[in-house]
Amino acid sequence: MKRYSLYLINPKRKYRYPWDLKEICRIMGRKTAVHPLALPTIAALTPDHYDVRIIDEEIEPLPNNHLPDLVGITAMIPNISRAYEIADHYRALGVPVVMGGPQVSYNVEETLRHADSVVIGEAEDTWQLCLEDFERGSLKPTYHSEKRPAFQEGAIPRWDLVDTAKVMALGVQASRGCPYACDFCLVPNLFGKRQRYRRLENVIAEIKSLPKKQITFVDDNLTADKAYARTLMEELKPLGVSWACQASFDLIDHPDLIRHMAAAGCHSILFGIESVNPASIEEAHKRQNKIARYEEGIRLVHSMGIHVIASFIVGFDSDTLQAFDDIYNFCARNHISLIQLNILIAYPGTNLYERLKPMQRLNPIDPDLLNGIYPTLQFNNMSQTELYHRYFETLGRIFSFDHVRKKITTILSSGVFKRENTGDITVRDKFTSVAHLLSMYLFTLDRSRRQLLLDLFKLVRNDVTTMNVIVEFLLFISSFHGYLKYTRKHGPAILETIQQYDRGPWRHQFAATAGQSDSCECEALNKASSNLDGN
């Protein structure tokens, strides 16, 4: 059988995200915190007569000494410009290009201006057909399965094709879909509201095959099925893995499950808290979040020795700039040190996108900026410029050394955070980490840095926590400060781009221009305004 060469490519993003953790990667000799799970999975679905090479531009550049027979590119919005650039490059050299991923699945027409074919949605039932057509020289423009794959027997990803020594943690997916319908989220539309689960034996076999003990469950809601989650925890306990996941806040009704998660190696859970404003929660259709129970739930998770990673979004139509202060105060009150602060983005394929597009509230802005950090919409009560400034001001306050010290010492003083190393940490990692911490936190004129280090070391000396817990935490804080330094360098040019589209709060624009709109647009705007008044 004829052999073919196949490149599977993840394009590099132009702009960083705080949780890229680039500083931790540099200190630990890694190139990236996570690697896209899509490419090793696609490689596993590829027949044996293909010589597959996975190229993640976050790890290595594209090779310039060889042309493959076929190129596959995965893309999300923040790297779509680079994805199109790579696709154009290979097609100009006569190499067919197939693209897939969330962004291209909802922008097929645009993508086909750069690619020969688009795999829409999940690839398990279509990738083989795509390759067969390629071999016959008859690639179709699109491949889209009529139904979603059952996903019970997930292909074991080809991590042997990735230099995993350059990656901090490897992704594992036990389920797809989410039973909720958050307005801003793509998952229910892309993967469905009915959650599909892999057989536990299949998941555990994959985890046992991994070359690393540090993993991240990429499921959008790992604990939606509580019975499945409990059984998964029992299977994980003897494996000695250390992991993080994402879960919905209803998990707090099951303290026994949280306890089992901690015993199975869970160190962090990301909760989409989104807002402490009831009107914003209602607007987002995130009715599963009960604000009155936030603080109770956070205390429960912390009491099990698991960090809460709190994810917030600012920019709902009910929000004002006060939302930033509310989030800051909430995190201080609940001693939350690990925070994802996001600006509302309307991604193609989401209900939010479909709602805002006819209102002309989506700016034709550089897609590289659509990463949840930069304001790219016409917001209801805030200008994009003031939202930008308050975002980075709040990020600086949240991760200030004095503020962080008060929160983390309170949490760690409970004595329940005593996680040991997983075995992925080498002697070199320990040496470079300690050298960095001494330089960053001790050999400095900044008293707040020194005090943070000394207070945490005191907890270790008193056997309240373990050294690896505080080293990991201090590296996280260093990385966030590295990101803030990065934004000071690149921020002015980005702000200038944003200001080109900043016409002030949208409600004011509507009041000024509603009478000039055509009847269709005016009807949509009036309906939206009525809904907003109702909120």
Tens digits of residue pLDDT in 303-355: 999 999 999 999 999 999 999 999 999 999 999 999 999 999 999 999 999 99
pLDDT at 357 exceeding the cut of 80: yes
Residues 423-432: tens digit of each pLDDT = 677 888 888 9
**Res 531: pLDDT:** 37
Residues 97-127: tens digit of each pLDDT = 999 999 899 999 999 999 999 999 999 999 9
CB 294 within 8 A of CB 278: no
**Res 420: pLDDT:** 76
CATH numeric code, 4-143: 3.40.50.2300
**Res 426: pLDDT:** 81
**Res 518: pLDDT:** 39
- Positive or negative: CA dihedral 462, 464, 469, 474: negative
pLDDT at 509 exceeding the cut of 90: no
In the chain, what are the domain boundaries? Answer: 4-143, 169-412
**Res 517: pLDDT:** 42
- Mean pLDDT taken over the chain: 92
Gap between the Cα atoms of 114 and 111, Å rounded: 5
**Res 124: pLDDT:** 94
**Res 514: pLDDT:** 54
Altogether, the residues listed in the chain come to a count of: 535
DSSP states along 340-370: EEEE----TTSHHHHHHGGGT-B----GGGT
**Res 515: pLDDT:** 47
Q: What is the pTM of this model?
A: 0.92
What average pLDDT does this structure show over 463-474?
A: 94
What average pLDDT does this structure show over 271-296?
A: 94
pLDDT-derived band of residue 512, with 50, 70 and 90 as boundaries? low
**Res 427: pLDDT:** 82
DSSP states along 174-235: SEE--S---TT-SHHHHH-SS-EE--HHHHHHHHHH-S-SEEEE--S-TTSSHHHHHHHHHH
CB 105 within 8 A of CB 349: yes
Nearest to 528 by CA among 232, 231, 283: 283
CATH architecture of 169-412: Alpha-Beta Barrel (3.20)
Total Cβ atoms within 10 A of residue 395: 20
Token pair, residue 263, equals 């015993």
Q: What is the DSSP letter of 18?
A: G
**Res 532: pLDDT:** 35
CA distances from 447 to 389, 412, 444, 450 (A): 27, 21, 8, 5
Strand, helix or coil for residue 378 = coil
Nearest to 252 by CA among 215, 291, 286, 280: 291
**Res 527: pLDDT:** 39
Q: How far apart are the first and last CA of the chain?
A: 63
Residues 207-218: tens digit of each pLDDT = 999 999 999 999
